[in-house]
Amino acid sequence: MTEQSALLIRGVSMIRGHDTAPETGDILVCGSRIAAVGGTLEAPDHADVIDGEGRLALPGLVNAHTHSPLSVVQGAYDTLNHRSCMWLFQAYTKNRTPREVYLSALKNAAEMLSSGTTAVIDHFPEQNFSIDDVEAVVTAYRDAGIRAVVALRIFDGEYTDIFPVSGGLDDRLLEDLHRQNPLRPRPLEETRAICEEAIARFDGLDDGMIRIFPAPSNPMRCSDDLLSMCLDLSQSYGVGIHCHLLETFVQTKIAQQRYGRTMVQHLDALGLLSERFSSAHTIWLDEEDIALLADRGAVPVHNPESNSRGGSGIMPTPAMLAHGVDVAIGSDGSCSGGAQFLQRAMLLATLLHRTPEYPPECWVGPADTLRMATLGGAKAMLAAGEVGHIEPGYRADLCLYDVAGQHWEGAEDAVASFVENETGQSLTCSIVNGRVVVRDGRIATFDWDATRQELLARLPEMKARNAALFDLTGRLADAVLAGGQGPRSV
């Protein structure tokens, strides 16, 4: 759409925010922003008019943590803990061509757009990357028409948190790992150079639809110099910082041994904790850590599906909400969370803490979860005040759902019905930045069927070229599993 174009959604029921009751009226979009809401509005002569009868409009969802390279890795995680699956993910994702990077990201985008997610933080990729890889994933999200942060996954240390607890690597395995290591660190100056080039070339493209953030893989896999570099990039270029944080209990132990304080305290001492900082998982922290996150305005990203699947633990969401922390929500990679339909994560986030240990007043409610999936994600993307509401002046990121379907029959509380019953299959239309990207339930921005067929044709070769790495990472996964499982060993 050009800035002069207009879109009118006529007579639609709408939930304008996470805690609002449905109301019926028109929504007028001019250019990329919502111009007017409510009542009967006059359609400009050139407007694209969409009939909203039988539809419910909601703000587009924000998936605040995913990994697009894992969009084509299915069924590889269910019986593995975090340490062992991390090794196997390397074999599934290494040595991709830029075209394969592009296709994987398009698949991720298609699943999100077709179920009601209009914005994403993609922690990309799994290993070291080239500027061509960054261009490929950026191009995919631009072609799809989704709002995206490409969070560049960087590190300059070893992945010590995914080695067996007691060592457990024989000499032959250590030798093979040294020779084939898919997670070999590269010099800090090279990392900074590629981050700065990516920010200069891609950050802010398409009216701010594309953002580039430095994104430490996990702080304990990074030197303090690299973490300080991320802070400098954030301050110099006005970008955010995204990372994994305290996904497993062993990471808390490593932090205490290394720094003599918690990982959250260490990040704060380095100056990283702020409203520009978001962190996926964020499970193993104490009350003081939670208070520190709240005070600094940092945004933890809840990933309930992958955390449950790998036995990593459960984010202390009730305590975070009680402290006033702005929580976001993410699907994680498709092999970890199961799919990119954010409604699955929303349902689990709502129900996880409804156990005898928590009185009902501490439970996470549907409005809390919808806030995580809209305003919380917007804050993580540095888009607070821009997306997350259907209000004049906000970016026109919204979705329409068919409420005549079985998921909505007899619904009395629209927010609860959406969070707890909707699967994304009722979606009929997605609008991002004023542009219709899904119409009548089908992707409108690219040929998804052709993309899917090309990707399927490439999958056997993508896996076959990493046969030696599959052998290595499989042996590493076995060594990890032999070292014990459970939440305090993963």
What's the rounded Cα separation, in Å, for the pair 87 and 162?
Answer: 8
Name residue 427's beta-bridge partners: 401
239-293, pLDDT tens digit by residue? 999 999 999 888 888 889 999 999 999 999 999 999 999 999 999 999 999 999 9
Name residue 122's beta-bridge partners: 66, 150
Band of pLDDT at residue 79, cut at 50, 70 and 90: low
What's the rounded Cα separation, in Å, for the pair 218 and 162?
Answer: 11
182-238, pLDDT tens digit by residue? 888 899 999 999 999 999 999 999 999 999 999 999 998 899 999 999 999 999 999
**Given this model, what pLDDT does residue 112 score?**
97
Residue 338's nearest CA partner among 78, 80, 122 is: 78
18-49, pLDDT tens digit by residue? 888 899 999 999 999 999 999 999 989 889 99
Same domain, 322 and 310: yes
**Given this model, what pLDDT does residue 83 score?**
67
Band of pLDDT at residue 393, cut at 50, 70 and 90: very high
Same domain, 53 and 74: no
Spell out a b/e string for 349-385, using b for 16 or more CB atoms within 10 Å of the CB, else e: bbebbeeeeeeeeebbebbbbbbbbbbbbbbbbbbbe
Band of pLDDT at residue 488, cut at 50, 70 and 90: very low
Same domain, 201 and 66: yes
What's the rounded Cα separation, in Å, for the pair 193 and 387?
Answer: 31
Asked whether residue 61 carries a pLDDT value surpassing 80, the answer given is: yes
Number of structural domains (the chain) is 2
Same domain, 135 and 275: yes
Same domain, 210 and 156: yes
For the chain, counts of helices (H) and of strands (E)? 19, 17
Same domain, 281 and 207: yes
What's the rounded Cα separation, in Å, for the pair 46 and 3?
Answer: 12
What's the rounded Cα separation, in Å, for the pair 317 and 300?
Answer: 9
Domain containing residue 172: 61-380
Same domain, 214 and 329: yes
Identify the domain boundary among 380, 405, 429. 380
Does 389 map to a domain? no
Q: DSSP assignment, residue 146?
A: -
8-19, pLDDT tens digit by residue? 999 999 999 888
Same domain, 373 and 417: no
Considering only 33-37, 336-340, 419-423, 468-472, which range has the smallest mean pLDDT? 336-340
Higher-scoring residue by pLDDT: 1, 117: 117
Same domain, 35 and 51: yes
What's the CATH code of the domain at 74?
A: 3.20.20.140
In this prediction the pTM is 0.93
**Average of pLDDT values for 150-174?**
79
Same domain, 342 and 400: no
Cβ pair 278, 298 in contact under 8 A: yes
**Given this model, what pLDDT does residue 169 score?**
72
What's the CATH code of the domain at 414?
A: 2.30.40.10
